[in-house]
C-alpha cells in the first residue's frame, strides 16, 4: 500500500512537472522564432548592452532598448529636424515658473506598467508621479551604481543632500515631489535650460519600485516598464521584444511629428498616419560587433534588415559620396539615409602636462602654446576624413559641431587647415627643434585601426619636424583602461569621440569647463577663467541669440588657446530593407523610431 502511494505520488509529481513544460511550449516557440505572416523587424546594434536598467543606460546600445521598454516624460519628435521635444508620458510641456526654477509636469492618466510577477496580483499597476520621483532618486542611490547622476547633480534642490544622508527613499526631497497622483514638481537650485532634454533620455526611464525590489540586481535583465515593447528574451547575441498589448492608443500625427514629404516621402512613412504604434508583432535586435559580419547578415536578405554601411563597403555601394547616392543595384533593394552624427571626434591637449600645457614659467607657457598650435597645423584633417571616413565627414573648427543650432558657419577654417610649412615656421620661431621637442605619448587601444591612426599622426608630426621617436605609442588593453588613463590625467593627448546627449552646444562646451577637470569630463584640464565665467553665465540662460553669442565666443577661446585638435563630425549611412517602413535615427531620437516601424510585406 505504501509502495502504491509512493508510485502514485511519483506519477503525480511527473505530471505536475510536465504541465508547466507543456504550458510553456507555445510561448517558448514564439520567442525562439518569428511566425510566418508576422510583422517582424530584425534590427541590429554594434554591441550588446550590459544592463537594461535605466539608471545604467549609459551606452547608445542600452539607451536604444531602454527607451522602448520604459516611458520617459518627454521625447524628441520622430521626424522633426532640427530636433524638437514633445511630451511622451507627460500630458504637455512643463509649466515653468517665471524665474525658471520650478517645473510642474502633469502625467497622462491610465498608463500601466506591463504585467509582471513583481506586482502583487501579477497585473501591472498604473504609472504615477511617485514612480517618476522614485526613478530619478535612484540616480542618487549609490547602491544602483548609476550612470546618469551627472545630469541632475547640483541641479535639483535637496537631491544631493538626500544622497549624502544615505539615499533613504522614505525621506522626501524638497526639490523633487509628487504634488498629487499625476503631478510632478521639480525645484531647481539654478536655472537649467536643458532639464527637459534630460527627461527625454533613457536615464530618466520610469520604473516601478516593486520590480526593483523583487528582482534586485537581476532587475537589469528583467525590465518592467510601460513602453511600447516588453522584453521576452535577452542574451549577448540577441534581444527579442514583443509589443506591449496594453500600450496606450495614441494615433500618429505626422504633421506634429515633423514629417516632410519632400525629404522623407520616399520612405513611405505616410502609411502610419492615424494609426497607433507599435506596429510590429515582433522586434529582434541582433548584437553584431564586427561590421563585416553585420554587413554580410544584412545583405543575405533573410537575416537582419537594418545595418550601417561599413567604411570598407562605401566604394562598392555608393555611386557618389557628395551627395550620398546608392548604386542602382543597392537602391533597388534598400532604403538609405545619411546623416551627420550628433557629435564629433577630436583630440584635446592635456593642459596639466607642463610639457604641452600650462607651465609656471610664462616663457615656456608661451612656447607650449606655439607647440600646440604647430601640432594643430600639422594635423591633416582632410587626409583623416579620406582615409577613415570616405570623405563623408564634415570638418569644422572648434567644438560646436554642425548638429547643434549654435554651430557657427562664419568661423575661420584656419584651425582645421593643414599647414605643415606654417607649423615648422612656428616651431622654429619659438625655439623648438628636434632636440628639445618633448616626448608625446600617444595612448590607444589594441587593433590595426588604432595603430594606423597613431602611425598617421606620427607621420604628420614628422613632416613638421617632430622626431618620430618622440611620438611614442602606449597601448591600453581595453577602452575602459584608456578611459581610466584619461580620467587620471595620465596622457598628454586625449583622442576621443563625443556623442551629444542633447542638441545644445552646452553639452560639448562643458568638456572644456575648468571645474569639470579630471576625473570629470574635461579630460584636457583646460582652465580658462574667462571661459569658465562665460560658461556659468550661459548655463542658466534659455536658448537665445545672447546665449548663442556666448557659446560662440567660448568656442573661439578654445581655438585661440590651441587647446584641442578639433574637429570632425562623421556621417553615418544607414540602410534598411525596402519592406521596412521607418526612418532610423541613432542620434537623440535613439531607439525611439522602433516604435514607428512598420512592415509592408510580412514574410510568408
Partner 1 sequence: MSTMNTSAVSGIDGHGDSLWLKAARKFKRDRVGMWALFGVFIYAVIALGVVFGFWGGAWADVTGPKWAPVSAEYWFGTNIIGQDIFARALYSTRTAFEVGLLVAIGATALGAVFGAVAGFFSGTWIDEIIIWVMGVLDSVPFILLVAAIAYSLGGSPWAMHIAMIATFWIGTARLVRGEVIKLKTLEYVEAAHAIGLGKVKIIFRHILPNTFHILLVQATISFVAAIKSEVILSFLGLGVKDGMSWGLMISESTFEVLAGFFNNFIAASVLMFGLVMAFNMFSDALQDALDPRSVK
Strands 471-475 and 440-444: parallel
Out of 104, 417, 456, 579, the residue judged to bind partner 1 by CB under 8 A: 456
Between 29 and 315, name the residue whose CB sits nearer to partner 1.
Answer: 315
Give the C-alpha separation, 335 to 581, whole Å: 9
Per-residue mark of binding to partner 1, 102-141 (x: CB under 8 A) = ----------------------------------------
C-alpha 530: how far from chain center: 30
Q: Is the Cβ of residue 387 or residue 510 nearer to partner 1 in the bound state?
A: 387
Q: Please tell me whether residue 446 binds partner 1 under the rule CB under 8 A.
A: yes
Tell me how far the alpha carbon of residue 371 is from its chain's centroid: 34
For residue 496, state whether it binds partner 1 (rule: CB under 8 A): no
State whether residue 572 is helix, strand or coil: strand
Per CB under 8 A, 468 contacts partner 1 = yes
Sequence-separated (6 or more) residues with CB below 8 Å from residue 394: 340, 402, 568, 569, 571
Q: Is 329 a binder of partner 1 (CB under 8 A)?
A: no
**Residue 19 sits in the site that holds partner 1 (CB under 8 A):** no
Shortest distance, position 312 Cβ to partner 1, whole Å: 4
* Residue 573: strand pairing partners: 338
Kindly report the three-state secondary structure assignment for every residue of 64-107: HHHHHHCCCCEEECCCCCCCCEEECCECCCCEECCCCCEEEEEE
By CB under 8 A, tell whether 165 contacts partner 1: no
Q: How far is CA 512 from CA 80, 180, 566, in A?
A: 30, 41, 13
Alpha-carbon gap, residue 205 to 74, rounded angstroms: 10
In the complex with partner 1, which residue's Cβ is closer, 155 or 384? 384
Q: Which of 172, 268, 310, 602 binds partner 1 (CB under 8 A)?
A: 310
What is the rounded CA–CA span in Å between residue 507 and residue 488?
A: 22
CB 156 within 8 A of CB 190: no
Q: Are 354 and 364 in contact (CB under 8 A)?
A: yes
With respect to partner 1, which residue has the nearer C-beta, 450 or 539?
Answer: 450
Distance CA(320)–CA(392), nearest Å, equals: 10
CB nearer to partner 1: give 6 or 452. 452
| CA 425 centroid distance within chain | 41
Q: Are 401 and 343 in contact (CB under 8 A)?
A: yes
Cα separation of 404 and 412, whole Å? 18
Q: Which listed range, 171-179, 186-194, 371-379, 449-457, lies at the site for partner 1 (CB under 8 A)?
A: 449-457
Question: 3-class SS at 567?
Answer: strand
Rule CB under 8 A: is residue 422 a binding residue for partner 1? Answer: no
Binding mask 260-299 for partner 1 (x = CB under 8 A): -------------------------------xx--x----
Which of 264, 225, 210, 245 lies closest to 89 in space, CA to CA?
225
Stretch that binds partner 1, among 108-116, 363-371, 380-388, 412-420 (CB under 8 A): 380-388
579 lines the binding site for partner 1 (CB under 8 A): no
Name the one range near partner 1 by CB under 8 A: 247-255, 427-435, 460-468, 510-518. 460-468
Q: Which cell goes with 84?
A: 524638437
Which part of the chain contacts partner 1 (CB under 8 A), choosing from 102-110, 147-155, 473-481, 529-537?
A: 473-481
322 binds partner 1 (CB under 8 A): no
The nearer residue to partner 1, 442 or 551, going by C-beta atoms, is 442
Does the footprint of partner 1 cover residue 383 (CB under 8 A)? yes
The smaller minimum CB distance to partner 1, of residues 19 and 452, is found at: 452
Among 20, 122, 216, 448, binds partner 1 (CB under 8 A): 448
Unique residue bearing C-alpha cell 543595384: 329
Does 465 contact partner 1 by CB under 8 A?
A: no
- The answer to whether 460 contacts partner 1 (rule: CB under 8 A) is yes
Q: For residue 227, what is its C-alpha cell?
A: 513602453
Min CB(418)–partner 1 separation in Å: 12
Phi, psi of 99 (to 5 degrees): -85, 0
Which CB sits closer to partner 1, 135 or 495? Answer: 495
Instruction: Give the interface with partner 1 as residue ranges (CB under 8 A).
Output: 291-292, 295, 310-316, 383, 386-388, 446-449, 451-452, 455-456, 458-460, 462, 468, 472-475, 477
Amino acid at each position: 500500500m505504501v509502495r502504491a502511494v509512493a508510485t502514485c505520488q511519483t506519477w503525480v509529481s511527473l505530471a505536475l512537472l510536465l504541465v508547466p513544460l507543456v504550458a510553456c511550449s507555445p510561448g517558448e516557440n514564439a520567442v525562439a522564432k518569428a511566425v510566418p505572416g508576422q510583422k517582424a523587424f530584425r534590427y541590429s546594434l554594434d554591441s550588446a548592452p550590459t544592463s537594461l536598467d535605466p539608471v545604467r543606460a549609459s551606452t547608445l546600445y542600452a539607451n536604444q532598448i531602454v527607451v522602448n521598454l520604459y516611458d520617459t516624460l518627454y521625447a524628441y519628435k520622430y521626424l522633426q529636424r532640427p530636433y524638437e521635444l514633445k511630451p511622451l508620458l507627460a500630458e504637455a510641456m512643463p509649466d515653468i515658473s517665471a524665474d525658471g526654477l520650478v517645473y510642474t509636469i502633469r502625467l497622462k492618466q491610465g498608463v500601466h506598467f506591463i504585467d509582471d510577477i513583481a506586482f502583487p496580483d501579477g497585473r501591472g499597476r498604473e504609472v504615477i508621479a511617485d514612480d517618476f520621483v522614485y526613478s530619478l532618486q535612484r540616480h542618487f542611490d549609490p547602491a544602483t551604481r548609476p550612470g546618469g547622476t551627472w545630469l541632475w547633480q547640483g541641479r535639483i534642490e535637496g537631491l544631493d543632500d538626500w544622497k549624502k544622508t544615505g539615499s533613504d527613499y522614505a525621506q522626501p526631497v524638497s526639490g523633487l515631489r509628487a504634488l498629487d497622483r499625476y503631478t510632478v514638481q521639480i525645484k531647481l537650485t539654478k536655472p537649467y535650460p536643458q532639464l527637459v532634454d534630460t527627461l527625454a533620455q533613457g536615464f530618466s526611464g520610469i520604473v516601478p519600485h516593486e520590480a526593483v525590489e523583487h528582482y534586485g540586481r537581476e532587475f537589469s535583465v528583467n525590465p518592467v516598464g510601460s513602453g511600447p515593447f516588453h522584453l521576452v528574451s535577452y542574451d549577448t547575441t540577441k534581444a527579442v521584444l514583443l509589443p506591449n498589448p496594453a500600450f496606450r492608443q495614441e494615433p500618429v500625427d505626422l504633421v506634429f511629428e515633423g514629417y516632410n514629404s519632400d525629404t522623407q516621402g520616399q520612405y513611405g512613412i505616410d502609411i502610419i498616419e492615424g494609426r497607433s504604434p507599435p506596429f510590429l508583432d515582433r522586434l529582434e535586435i541582433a548584437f553584431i560587433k564586427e561590421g563585416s559580419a553585420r554587413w554580410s547578415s544584412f545583405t543575405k536578405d533573410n537575416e537582419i534588415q537594418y545595418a550601417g554601411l561599413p567604411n570598407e563597403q562605401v566604394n562598392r555601394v555608393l555611386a557618389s559620396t557628395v551627395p550620398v547616392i546608392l548604386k542602382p543595384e543597392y537602391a533597388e533593394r534598400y532604403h538609405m539615409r545619411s546623416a551627420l552624427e550628433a557629435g564629433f571626434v577630436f583630440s584635446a591637449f592635456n593642459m596639466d602636462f607642463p610639457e604641452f600645457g600650462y607651465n609656471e614659467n610664462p616663457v615656456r607657457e608661451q612656447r607650449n602654446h606655439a607647440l600646440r598650435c604647430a601640432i594643430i597645423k600639422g594635423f591633416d584633417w582632410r587626409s583623416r576624413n579620406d582615409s577613415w571616413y570616405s570623405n563623408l565627414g564634415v570638418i569644422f573648427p572648434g567644438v560646436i559641431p554642425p548638429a547643434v543650432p549654435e554651430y557657427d558657419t562664419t568661423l575661420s577654417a584656419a584651425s582645421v587647415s593643414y599647414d605643415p610649412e606654417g607649423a615648422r615656421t612656428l616651431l622654429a620661431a619659438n625655439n623648438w627643434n628636434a632636440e628639445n621637442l618633448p616626448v608625446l605619448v600617444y595612448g590607444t587601444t589594441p587593433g590595426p585601426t588604432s595603430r594606423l591612426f597613431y602611425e598617421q599622426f606620427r607621420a604628420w608630426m614628422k613632416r613638421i619636424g617632430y622626431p618620430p621617436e618622440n611620438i611614442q605609442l602606449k597601448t591600453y588593453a581595453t577602452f575602459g583602461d584608456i578611459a581610466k588613463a584619461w580620467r587620471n590625467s595620465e596622457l598628454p593627448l586625449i583622442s576621443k569621440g563625443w556623442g551629444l546627449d542633447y542638441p545644445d552646444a552646452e553639452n560639448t562646451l562643458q568638456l572644456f569647463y575648468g571645474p569639470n577637470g579630471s576625473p570629470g569630463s574635461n579630460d584636457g584640464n583646460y582652465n580658462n577663467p574667462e571661459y569658465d565665467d562665460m560658461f556659468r553665465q550661459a548655463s542658466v540662460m534659455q536658448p537665445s541669440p545672447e546665449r548663442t553669442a556666448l557659446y560662440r565666443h567660448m568656442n573661439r577661446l578654445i581655438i585661440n588657446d590651441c587647446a584641442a585638435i578639433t574637429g570632425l563630425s562623421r556621417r553615418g549611412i544607414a540602410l534598411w530593407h525596402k519592406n521596412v517602413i521607418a526612418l532610423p535615427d541613432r542620434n537623440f531620437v535613439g531607439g525611439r523610431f522602433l516604435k514607428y516601424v512598420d512592415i509592408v510585406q510580412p514574410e510568408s
